[in-house]
Amino acid sequence: MKIKWYGHSAFQITTEKEIRIIIDPYESGSFSGALSYGKIEDQADIVLTSHDHADHNYTKDIKGKYNHISKAGDHKIKDIKIKAIPCFHDSLGGKKGGSNLIFVITADGLNLVHMGDIGHSLDQELLKKIGKVDILLLPVGGFFTVDAVMAQKIMNDIKPSITVPMHYKTEKCNFPITPVENFTKNQANVRILKESSVVIKKETLPKEPEIIILQHAL
């Protein structure tokens, strides 16, 4: 499984059978230019959007005849299992930010979880629905989502083998959120890559939990 980070919360997952999944594509230049990552114009077989905000739901530039999943439930497309679990964008039951979906993707013998714009901690019911996690894509920037402290708690509760932070401040994201260093400081086993993508296989999962920082592709 190849994981590519476009920027913000947008990823492309490519399976060993070359099935392409794009998650939470943003609108380039949205929010009066505050989000200035480049356009996502790749081909996709499956597109997942966790909620209906412009930095997570913009599909107009994506090419191909893809299946679009934006509703809660269990799905199976091209031998890939996708579970969309409802939760909230805030800690007030959605009263401030609305709803959000957690995506659990099972492919290549791995369970990958994209948390969308989750804004609250996980209770036992949510943890049970999520299940065992190999790779966790986790927002860490705060303000619109959980902050670095709460993100660390979610990571510790889920216990993934690999965590990839997302939704944090960069030179191309001028939102009032914090940089990734607020999350990674004092954390063990942080690996900063020079690339925007990483290939992960079940047999090469780390023995100790690891945080991988990717460079944005666009």
Task: Indicate the pLDDT class of residue 186, thresholds 50, 70 and 90.
Answer: confident
Q: Give me the CATH number covering residue 55.
A: 3.60.15.10
Task: Indicate the pLDDT class of residue 195, thresholds 50, 70 and 90.
Answer: very high
Residue 176 — φ and ψ, nearest 5°? -80, 60
Q: Does the pLDDT at position 38 exceed 90?
A: yes
Q: How far apart are CA 169 and CA 166, in angstroms?
A: 9
Q: How far apart are CA 217 and CA 144, in angstroms?
A: 23
Domain residues for the domain of 16 are 2-213
- Mean pLDDT score of the chain, rounded to an integer? 95
**Is residue 57 a part of any domain in this protein?**
yes
Q: How far apart are CA 20 and CA 13, in angstroms?
A: 6
**Is residue 52 a part of any domain in this protein?**
yes
**Is residue 137 a part of any domain in this protein?**
yes
Helices (H), 66-189: 124-130, 148-158, 181-184
The pLDDT of 83-89, averaged and rounded, is 91
Whole-number pLDDT of residue 107? 97
**Is residue 218 a part of any domain in this protein?**
no
Residue 139 forms beta bridges with which residues? 166
Q: Is 149 exposed, middle or buried (CB count within 10 Å of its CB: 0-12, 13-18, 19+)?
A: exposed
DSSP-derived pairing of the beta strands 99-107 and 80-88: antiparallel
Q: Does the pLDDT at position 149 exceed 80?
A: yes
The pLDDT of 35-47, averaged and rounded, is 97
Q: How far apart are CA 32 and CA 37, in angstroms?
A: 13
Number of domains in the chain: 1
**Is residue 135 a part of any domain in this protein?**
yes
Whole-number pLDDT of residue 98? 74
Whole-number pLDDT of residue 94? 67
Q: How far apart are CA 42 and CA 115, in angstroms?
A: 22
Q: Does the pLDDT at position 138 exceed 90?
A: yes
Residue % of the chain over a pLDDT of 70: 98
